[in-house]
C-alpha cells in the first residue's frame, strides 16, 4: 500500500501517461515523488540507471517511459522501437529488483495481442497468434517486458504488474504529423479544418477499423489503484469495454469541436488500416473493483483545450 510519504519514482513523467500519473499522485496528496529528465538520465544507459535506482531507492516505481508512436513511425522505425523499449524496460525492471523495489507497475499496450484476436481480448490470449506486422517490433518489446515482470514475480516473489491500456488520449499527447496515434491525429486534423475553413476530413485507411479509446486520467487512476491492490495475475487490461470505428470517432470529434459544420469524410486508401478490431475484455480489472469513468465528449473537449494552450 502506498503511504502519503512513500518514495515513488515515475519514469517518463513528461509523457502523456507519466504526466497524468504525476498529476493524480499530487492531487491525492503523495508527497515524496521522484522524477528525472531524459537529459539527466537516459534510461537506455544501463550503468547510470542501475546507479540511480541504487541511490534513490524508491519503494514504488511506475514505468511510463517508452518509445511510443503511431502506425507510421512503428512501421518505419522498427529498430528504434525494439531497441529503445527493450533497453528502457530491461534497465528499469532489473535495476528495480537490484535496488530492492518490491512494487512496480509496467505499462504495456493492447498491441501486444494477436492481430486477429478473438474479441473482446482477454489477458490469456497473449501469444495465441500472429502479431500485426506494422507494430510487431514494439509489441515484441512490450511482451518481453510482461514476461520479465512475470518471471521476476515467480523467481523473486516481487509484485511487478503490467497494465495493458487501450488507445489513450489526453493532455500532453503527441500531435506530430508522422508520429502520433490516430486519436490525437484526428483532433489535430479537425482543428486544422476549423482554422483553415476546410470542408473535407481525410482519414488514413478505410475508416472501418474499430478501436477502443480511454482518457489518460482513467489510466493514471488505474495505475495507482493497482499499485495499491494485491492481484494474483500480473497482466491486467485497462479499457472502457466499448469501441467505435475510426469513422465514428471522426464524426464524434467533428461534432464536439466544430458543431454545426458539415464536413465531408474522405479516405486515403493508400494508407494502412492496421488491426481490424481491438476491444479489450476488462472483466479482470472489474473483478478487482476498477472501472473507467471517462465521458467521451467531455474528455475530448478537455484534451482539445490543452492542445490549444500548447500551440
Ligand X SMILES: NC(=O)c1ccc[n+]([C@@H]2O[C@H](COP(=O)([O-])OP(=O)(O)OC[C@H]3O[C@@H](n4cnc5c(N)ncnc54)[C@H](OP(=O)(O)O)[C@@H]3O)[C@@H](O)[C@H]2O)c1
Which residues of the chain form contacts with ligand X (CB under 6 A)? 12-18, 38, 42-44, 64-68, 88, 107, 109, 165, 167-168, 174, 181
Residue whose CB is nearest to ligand X in the complex, by number: 15
Tell me if residue 152 is catalytic: no
For residue 111, give the H/E element and its range: none
Nearer CB in complex with ligand X: 103/194 = 103
Nearer CB in complex with ligand X: 63/101 = 63
**Please, what is the minimum distance in Å from the beta carbon of residue 76 to ligand X?**
16
- Active-site annotation holder among 138, 152, 249, 304: 138
What SS3 class is residue 183?
helix
Please provide the size of the chain in residues: 311
**Could you give the CA distance from residue 238 to residue 218 in angstroms, rounded to a whole number?**
9
CA dihedral over 290, 96, 66, 62, signed as positive or negative: positive
**Please, what is the minimum distance in Å from the beta carbon of residue 261 to ligand X?**
27
Nearer CB in complex with ligand X: 168/209 = 168
What SS3 class is residue 267?
strand
Nearer CB in complex with ligand X: 168/275 = 168
**Could you give the CA distance from residue 260 to residue 263 in angstroms, rounded to a whole number?**
9
Instruction: Characterize the bridge pairing of strands 235-238 and 60-63.
Output: unpaired
| CB of 207 closer than 8 Å to CB of 134 | no
Active site residues: 138
Amino acid at each position: 500500500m502506498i503511504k502519503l510519504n512513500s518514495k515513488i519514482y515515475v519514469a517518463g513523467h513528461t509523457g502523456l501517461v507519466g504526466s497524468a500519473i504525476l498529476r493524480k499522485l499530487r492531487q491525492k496528496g503523495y508527497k515524496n515523488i521522484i522524477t528525472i529528465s531524459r537529459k539527466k538520465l537516459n534510461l537506455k544507459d544501463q550503468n547510470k540507471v542501475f546507479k540511480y535506482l541504487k541511490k534513490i531507492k524508491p519503494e514504488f516505481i511506475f514505468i511510463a517511459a517508452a518509445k511510443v508512436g503511431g502506425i507510421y513511425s512503428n512501421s518505419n522505425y522498427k529498430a528504434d522501437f525494439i531497441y529503445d523499449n527493450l533497453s528502457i524496460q530491461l534497465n528499469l525492471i532489473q535495476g528495480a529488483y537490484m535496488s530492492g523495489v518490491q512494487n512496480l507497475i509496467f505499462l504495456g499496450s493492447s498491441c501486444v495481442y494477436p492481430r486477429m484476436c478473438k474479441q473482446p481480448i482477454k489477458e490469456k490470449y497473449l501469444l495465441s497468434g500472429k502479431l500485426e506486422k506494422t507494430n510487431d517490433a514494439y509489441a515484441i518489446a512490450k511482451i518481453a517486458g510482461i514476461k520479465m515482470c512475470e518471471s521476476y514475480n515467480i523467481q523473486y516473489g516481487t509484485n511487478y504488474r503490467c497494465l495493458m491500456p487501450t488507445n489513450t488520449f489526453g493532455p500532453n499527447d503527441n500531435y506530430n504529423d508522422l508520429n502520433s496515434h490516430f486519436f490525437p491525429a484526428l483532433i489535430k486534423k479537425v482543428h486544422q479544418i476549423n482554422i483553415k475553413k476546410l470542408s473535407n476530413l481525410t482519414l488514413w485507411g478505410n475508416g472501418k477499423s474499430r478501436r477502443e479509446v480511454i482518457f489518460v486520467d482513467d489510466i493514471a487512476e488505474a495505475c495507482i489503484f493497482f499499485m495499491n491492490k494485491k492481484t494474483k495475475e500480473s497482466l491486467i487490461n485497462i479499457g472502457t469495454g466499448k469501441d467505435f470505428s475510426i469513422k465514428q470517432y471522426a464524426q464524434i470529434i467533428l461534432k464536439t469541436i466544430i458543431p454545426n459544420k458539415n464536413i465531408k469524410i474522405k479516405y486515403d486508401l493508400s494508407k494502412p488500416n492496421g488491426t481490424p478490431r481491438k476491444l479489450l475484455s476488462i472483466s479482470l480489472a472489474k473483478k478487482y473493483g476498477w472501472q473507467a469513468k471517462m465521458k467521451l465528449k467531455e474528455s475530448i473537449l478537455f484534451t482539445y483545450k490543452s492542445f490549444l494552450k500548447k500551440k
